[in-house]
Chain A
Amino acid sequence: MTLDGRAANDPLFDYLCRLGDGALILGHRLGEWCGHAPALEEDIALANTALDLIGQAQLWLDLAGRIEGEGRGADDLAMLRDVDEFKNPLLVEQPNGDFGCTLMRQFLFDGFHFHLLDHLRGASDRRVADIAAKAIKEVEYHLARSSDLVVRLGDGTKTSRARMQGALDILWPFTGELFEADIVDEAMLRAGIGPDLRKLEVAYRLHLDRIVEAATLTLPEVGSWQRGGKSGLRHSEALGYLLAQMQWLQRAYPQAKW
């Protein structure tokens, strides 16, 4: 829910921003690895995933702009909004950390993303369903890849296992927000667009628990779940730095094109 009350007026706009921002911010984070990944093959795979996600963000934000009807396009929404207007879950804005953290963040999000899109491709809104149907082909591969690597590294060497468990301990508390329905989620459920997040969580955990077990990892006990990303009300400090880098060109040279 935005402070100006727009969510009450048009929850679909906020919902599309959540979908678009989640993909955009994670895509940007993955792009930060470009040229730095531990192996050439991983470098290219991460960049591929980043490009998939940024492509999806473009579709979601373009539709969001059209729903809003105030002349804002995908670029305007991506490059000219500030921190509290971003609706991505906290999970995807977390810093890359080491390669294990990046992979774990990817795995935790991919599972959610896959099941979400799987539901959205049956959405009552045809425009939403079409984008989801296109995106899920990419995300199915993202999930297969990150699941595979989490098992390999978790059930790997002492060092790789310790790193993956460390990454899970850090990132797991950020997953709670994904399944907590708020006013926007409830409106989308009623409209026949969004999923019942409790059911989504069951499907998510079915795959996740199997992979975590195969990776010989343990889900940590969580004292307090992190929330405030998808509402935009309490992003972590990290998002400000990310946007400063992502948006600086449009901020420094407004309307610049290439």
Chain B
Amino acid sequence: MFDDDLPAGESKSPAGDEVREPPESESDTGADAGRDTGRLEWPLWEVFVRGRHGMSHRHVGSLHATDAQMALKNARDVYTRRREGVSIWVVESRAITASIPADKEAFFDSSETKIYRHPSFYDIPDEAGAM
């Protein structure tokens, strides 16, 4: 829908190009076929929804939108149509820095034997509420 007549400088996304590569099937028409081969996908957004009784926003999925306001509206339509939520956050996927799967052992395994870091050996007073 927004794949034509883009002003110069906006025709390529500044980052996250690897997720925007057109699929093979769309790029076999040759370079001369022009814009159609470089079809610009809308940026990807991650959606977080806080449920009626939830205390925090939880990641529920992702969607495409041209900007944050459209992402919010789309999130409302895609992820809260069954009264799942009372609040929505959206964040562009490329803004998220994720841990690398190869680092898993160094990142996470060392805590495996340290069960004393769980608060399971303490009695939590009722007044403290939900934790």
Contact = CB atoms under 8 A, between A and B. Distances in A.
Contacts of A157: 2, 4-6
B130 to A, nearest CB: 31
B64 interface: yes
B66 A158 contact: no
B73 interface: yes
* Contact residues of A: prevailing secondary structure: helix
A153 B4 CA distance: 12
A115 interface: no
Interface stretch (A38-46, A68-76, A182-190): A38-46
B95 to A, nearest CB: 19
A166 to B, nearest CB: 15
| Residues of A in contact with B, size category | 10 to 19
Given A39-B42, A41-B65, A152-B66, A160 B74 contact: no
Given A39-B42, A157-B5, A45 B69 contact: no
Nearest to B5: A157
Interface residues of B, number: 18
A39 B78 contact: no
A255 interface: no
A159 interface: yes
Contacts of A158: 4-5
Interface of B: 1-2, 4-6, 42, 63-66, 69-70, 73-74, 76-78, 81
3 residue pairs, one from A and one from B, having the closest CB atoms: A157-B5, A45-B77, A41-B74
21 contacts: A38-B1, A40-B64, A41-B64, A41-B65, A41-B74, A41-B77, A41-B78, A44-B78, A44-B81, A45-B78, A99-B1, A141-B76, A145-B73, A148-B69, A148-B70, A152-B70, A157-B4, A157-B5, A157-B6, A159-B4, A160-B2
Given A153-B1, A157-B2, A160-B2, 6 more contacts: A41-B65, A44-B77, A141-B76, A152-B70, A156-B2, A158-B4
